[in-house]
Amino acid sequence: MTVPIVPGFHPDPSICRVGDTYYLANSSFEYVPGVPIRRSTDLVTWELLGHALTRPSQLPPGDGAANTGIYAPTLRYHDGRFHLVTTNILEAHRGHLIVTAEDPAGPWSDPVHVRGTDGIDPDLCWDDAGVCHLTWTSFRPERPGITSVPIDPATGAMLAEPRPLWNGTGLAAPEGPHLYRVDGWWYLLLAEGGTERGHAVTIARARRLEGPYEPAPSNPILTHRSTTHPVQNTGHADLVECADGSWAMVYLGVRPRGKTPQFHVNGRETFLAGVDWVDGWPVVAEDRFPVAAADNSFTDGFATAELHPRWVAPGAAPETRWSGPGELVLTRTLLTRALDEHWTAVARLDVSHGTAAFVVRIDDRHWYGLTADGSTVTATLAIGPIVHAVTNVAAGSAVSLRIRALQPPASGPFREVTEPDLVELSVLRDDGRAEVLGTFDGRYLSTEVAAGFTGRMIGVEVLGGSVALQEFRYTTGR
């Protein structure tokens, strides 16, 4: 599998099935609304329904600091309701939070917190007696590692003392637990090795949920570590039984490019594999589901006041005012995910009443952008502590700005490609001419440089006053 089923910054996938329909949730970190929810009937093509965490009562506003906010969720369906459990790392002292809904498109309930469960990567499952069990990666020094406890999901009350389960095969950072009941066994799926190049999926089983757990003889059951596979960092998986009785796995991976150590720019993406059960253990068939490269192009003319769920903002929900078709007034940042290796984005802006930057960013310390103030457009690069205005050109208050992620040419004595891509910043003139202000090395907008858990976002940052975003076009490829 080399093509993601959900491209761009969509890590930590969790999946469940209801009848013939599958539902998928992903981490969202500092971006709000939180936890995107998707629907599919074939596991390959997915429709974005909305988000689970859309209100301040569910996700209190923050300052949008990089790599904070909502960590890995688990999405499950039980007794007629969808249940989602996740961690707001800014409120980790309150424990994991659980929200529920009859319809995954929402609305979702206000959260119930399970106090005393400091850590990340919570999972929910129900035993044969209908008791709900919360399992997570504990950060408590008195009980570190994979921990589980029966709970009342309606109140968050623990029904017993937490107990350790299985901390993996000995690799670094055992996390991402999911429990499943299959053919009289309890299976515990883990991510190990860290979410970088050593990432792997391992599994163990026990007759009782409490253990003891026996590791699979073929562990890890999925990893691309120490290979030249174009998809790396594979791990943090979740299993689902399909409508026809077969099984599948979703997992995260990255697509690094350029010269060693290589650089991935769009974050951790969601991939799909088949699963066979052989002698009581899952065997991963990575190429079972053919996934063709999708055309992710879209144009948003803001014809109505309702924002498409693709739009998010760091720290708090987007602040917009709709004054008519093609007039979305912004007072703060509005972003969407980069979905392709190579793409073109164009924003048509009116900056008569403010100043705005059209940006591609990993976080607020790593971004390239075009700042429009009504008289000039300035190309600026931010790489860590260095913020450098490269050049500027004259432009009025109505501007069309373009950012492209381009495939770099081979160069150097060995004709290798050193960068993951080249980022081009341009002003589009009324006569159709593109005035290029510069083309820059894309590696500085990669996770390997910026660090963290997110990926590239594209959009408009309001630097002062208010601006009107009249149209946004995103095109797959050049």
Contact 95, 139 (CB under 8 A): no
Cβ-contact 87, 113 below 8 angstroms: no
DSSP 8-class letter at 98: E
Respond yes or no: is residue 175 known to be catalytic: yes
Question: Which among 12, 350, 363, 419 is annotated as catalytic?
Answer: 12
CB neighbours of 397 closer than 8 A, spacing ≥ 6? 350, 351, 352, 374
Q: Which H/E stretch holds residue 112?
A: strand 112-114
Both structure tokens of 29: 């970190």
Three-class secondary structure of residue 450 per DSSP? helix
Q: Which residues contact 111 (CB under 8 A, 6 or more apart)?
A: 58, 97, 98, 99
Of 30, 123, 175, 421, the active-site residue reads 175
Residue 350 has phi, psi (to 5 degrees) of -120, 115
- DSSP, residue by residue, 258-325: SSTT-B--S--EEEEEEEEEETTEEEEETTSS--PPP---EEE---SSSPPTT-BEESS---EEE-ST
What is the C-alpha separation between 58 and 94, in angstroms, rounded? 13
Does 279 participate in catalysis according to the annotation? Answer: no
Cβ-proximal residues to 460 (8 Å cutoff; 6+ apart), any chain: 330, 333, 334, 335, 347, 349, 356, 357, 358, 359, 467, 469
Per-residue b or e along 415-435, where b marks 16 or more CB atoms closer than 10 Å to that residue's CB = eeebbbbbbbbbbbeeeeeee
307 torsion bin: left (phi>0), alpha (psi -120 to 50), beta (else): beta
DSSP state of 449: H
Q: Which two tokens stand for residue 67?
A: 């790599």
Decide: 66 and 363 in contact? Cβ < 8 Å.
Answer: yes
For residue 345 the two structure tokens come to 């984005």
SS3 400: strand
Residue showing tokens 């013939």:
20
Known catalytic residues are: 12, 175
